[in-house]
Amino acid sequence: MTGNAVKVKEVVLRKLQMRLKNPFATSFETMQDKTFCLLEVIDENGNIGWGESVASDLPLYNEETVKTNQHILEDLLIPDILGQTIGHPDEISERFSPIRRNNMAKATIETAIWDLFAKNNRMPLSQALGGKKKEIQVGISIGIQDTTKALLNQIEGFLTQGFRKFKIKIKPGKDVGVLREVREVYPDIPMMADANSAYTLKDIDHLKQLDDLNLMMIEQPLDHDDIVDHAVLQKEIRTPICLDESIHSVKDAMRSHSLGSCKIINIKIGRVGGLTEAKKINDYCKQVGMPVWCGGMQEAGVGRAHNIAVTTLDQFTLPGDTAPSSRYWDEDIIEPEVTMTGGIIQVPDKPGIGFEVNREMLEKFAVYEKAFKL
Ligand SMILES: O=C(O)CCC(=O)C1=CC=C[C@@H](O)[C@@H]1C(=O)O
Ligand SMILES: [Mg+2]
């Protein structure tokens, strides 16, 4: 849609530090404290758009960090949009394209501009994006546990809360055996595994054993930057491969589809550089009949709100990782917090992201703040 243009008058970059309720373990790290960039973009009408970066302290998921975000935002992207009139948020990704990658930094501004644009045009962000859903289905991502009993306890609790998909983190030594035990106890739950690149093609025979476990998919079993070996693996296993780390753009989605590297794509707004690119991947995957879903990055409320909005697009047919705020936070930075009933989150109908940022929480969690004015 077209609509009222956005003229950027002021930008405030904050870094927030928040403690997760419980440590979250994957094949590559255990996270307890999260530092991230939060961007406030103010336009000439006094409207405010919010964007949250999903980059973390160390470049373990991808190459970006909080510090590289700060550099790219402060030295390149903020000066580039300050004072500019932006006709439509779709212009932003084009505008930033000379800068290679740094997708999470780019998405921080891009998502804030989308929020601002939707607010300026008095419509929910989901609607501005073209999303139609009024509610979304929600899954849960469960980190690697010390024991299978602990994992089973977690699943039991999350099952009671109504989650619609159970994503279980795996790594060598904590994979087929653990998932088999879970399947014995829960023969029917919608279950998938996420390996975060912990395997190689040498593990084909081992990974083939997953085919007996009726998994919805295995996420990113091989290298973070690979789509060739994944195509080899997908020919050998029946379990659908879902790509996460390897997909940075709609072009990556096209190449992966034509090579047969995956049957499903996990879209993370930050990883693909923003909502415009996420929409393009949605549209392409719809054309070729490939299901997509929204992955999580342990977001605070602003990122969570953007995830809810993107999930309303029509090819997001599988439940995502967007759990309620209480999954990770004792106190979130938005009001109201994201809540869920029976595995369903209601899509807000207020303008923009549909949640207010709680300034008291910003004070509490901010470890850095810098304003950029005209
Ligand atoms: O936000 C959530 O609940 C999902 C968390 C999650 O599974 C991930 C977050 C960040 C990096 C990875 O560990 C992982 C993923 O790869 O999807
Ligand atoms: Mg993943």
Q: Cβ distance 250 to 281 under 8 Å?
A: yes
363 C-alpha to ligand 2 centroid (Å): 31
SS3 357: strand
Can you tell me the ipTM of this complex? 0.97
pLDDT at 239 over 90: yes
Over the stretch 206-223, which tens digit does the pLDDT of each residue have?
A: 999 999 999 999 999 999
Q: What six digits make up the tokens of 275?
A: 């909502």
Over the stretch 20-79, which tens digit does the pLDDT of each residue have?
A: 999 999 888 899 999 999 999 999 999 999 999 999 999 999 999 999 999 999 999 999
In degrees to the nearest 10, what's the CA dihedral of 183, 187, 188, 191?
Answer: 0
- For 347, residues 6+ apart whose C-beta sits below 8 A from its C-beta are 124, 126, 131, 133, 134, 135, 136, 308, 309, 312, 354
SS3 291: coil
pLDDT at 90 over 80: yes
pLDDT more than 70, % of the chain: 99
Q: Which of 31, 56, 58, 141 best tests ligand 1's pocket when mutated (most atoms within 8 Å of CB)? A: 141
The mean per-residue pLDDT over the stretch 227-236 comes to: 98
- The active-site residue, picked from 34, 268, 279, 280, is 268
In the chain the domains, ranked by start, together with CATH numbers, are 6-122+359-373 (3.30.390.10), 127-356 (3.20.20.120)
Ligand 1 close to Cβ of residue 296 (< 6 A): yes
Residue whose CA lies nearest to ligand 1 atom number 2: 296
The mean per-residue pLDDT over the stretch 303-320 comes to: 98
SS3 352: strand
169 included as an active-site residue: yes
Q: What is the pLDDT of residue 28?
A: 86
The answer to whether 194 is a known ligand-binding residue is yes
The answer to whether 219 is a known ligand-binding residue is yes
Q: Which ligand ends up closest to the CA of 296?
A: 1
Residue type for 18, please? Answer: M
358 C-alpha to ligand 2 centroid (Å): 29
268 included as an active-site residue: yes
The mean per-residue pLDDT over the stretch 124-136 comes to: 98
The mean per-residue pLDDT over the stretch 337-350 comes to: 98
Q: Which ligand ends up closest to the CA of 140?
A: 1
Residue ranges of the alpha helices (H) in the chain?
66-71, 78-81, 90-96, 103-120, 125-129, 148-161, 176-185, 204-208, 228-236, 250-259, 275-288, 301-311, 359-365
Q: Is the pTM of this model over 0.95?
A: yes
pLDDT at 351 over 70: yes
pLDDT more than 90, % of the chain: 97
Q: What is the pLDDT of residue 1?
A: 58
Q: What is the pLDDT of residue 331?
A: 97
SS3 219: strand
pLDDT at 289 over 90: yes
